[in-house]
A = this chain, B = another copy of it.
Amino acid sequence: MENRCFYNSDGDFLIVPQKGKLLIYTEFGKMLVQPNEICVIQRGMWFSIDVFEETRGYILEVYGVHFELPDLGPIGANGLANPRDFLIPVAWYEDRQVPGGYTVINKYQGKLFAAKQLVSPFNVVAWHGNYTPYKYNLENFMVINSVAFDHADPSIFTVLTAKSVRPGVAIADFVIFPPRWGVADKTFRPPYYHRNCMSEFMGLIRGHYEAKQGGFLPGGGSLHSAMTPHGPDADCFEKASKAKLAPERIADGTMAFMFESSLNLAVTKWGLKTSNCLDENYYKCWEPLKSHFTPNSRKPAEFN
């Protein structure tokens, strides 16, 4: 079998495996990344990935910027993702000739280029510095939220952010909805109805997403573009509106996440057509809502 490794000259990859383990070889060492963990492989790093079964997941690529922890402000030193829970590889190398050669594939300006070499590229004996790939187990996220009343913005679940140069505006945020206690009194607890100045791409690693329990499966995705209103489905709305509020566990066994960006996301032809995966009835989840909102031209038609 052919030996291949890869590096990306364009940007950084945030990888969210949803099914199957990834054994990632990098110049810095090896990482085993499993569902409910994420990893980041930055621009310029050579890596290859072994898989052992059917594997799938989500990848977010950002350009010209690296992911970092959000500024915590009053949250203080112990909240959200803790630096010490980000694991980096231990140096590892192999010194071997590769029969047939190693194919090095480079993503450069959105295109792929290939070159060959005879030795393994994983020949870095030791390294120092802090520009390294890393992984993070989402179970380590220290969740904070309302403990009296009212509903916090989902930004409170931010794991990593790739900042633009405009303060408060992110190229991309990686946000999760982990298992936690819900205790807010006098409050509609599910995500509220809103429109967002950012694009929201949601994915589900496991379990059932609270705001759309039936129609959103692990491995699926939804995209709500900037400024178009959305919120929980009618069923969720009904239940949460009538719920008697007491402390309760939320999202046990579930891990949903969001790629949120101040930029607009284009959907590929593959996503819209080839994959045959588009949910044409998505909008119907809101139809039973009492607000009579009936967007009956579900296929956005160009106007005028």
Contact = CB atoms under 8 A, between A and B. Distances in A.
Interface of A: 7-9, 43-44, 64-65, 70-80, 84, 97, 101, 104-106, 108-109, 111-119, 123, 128, 141-158, 165-166, 169, 178-183, 195, 197, 225-228, 247, 262, 264, 291-298, 300-304
Contacts of A116: 294-297
How many subunits of this chain does the assembly comprise?
6
B296 A226 contact: no
A247 B51 CA distance: 42
B143 A74 contact: no
Nearest to A150: B142
Contacts of A151: 78
A166 B101 CA distance: 40
A91 to B, nearest CB: 14
Given A9-B228, A70-B74, A147-B147, 19 more contacts: A9-B226, A44-B226, A64-B166, A73-B73, A74-B158, A75-B75, A76-B156, A78-B150, A79-B150, A108-B228, A112-B302, A114-B301, A116-B295, A117-B295, A118-B293, A142-B149, A142-B152, A181-B181, A181-B183
A147 B78 contact: no
B197 A43 contact: yes
A300 B73 contact: no
Contact of A80 (B65, B74, B117, B195): B74
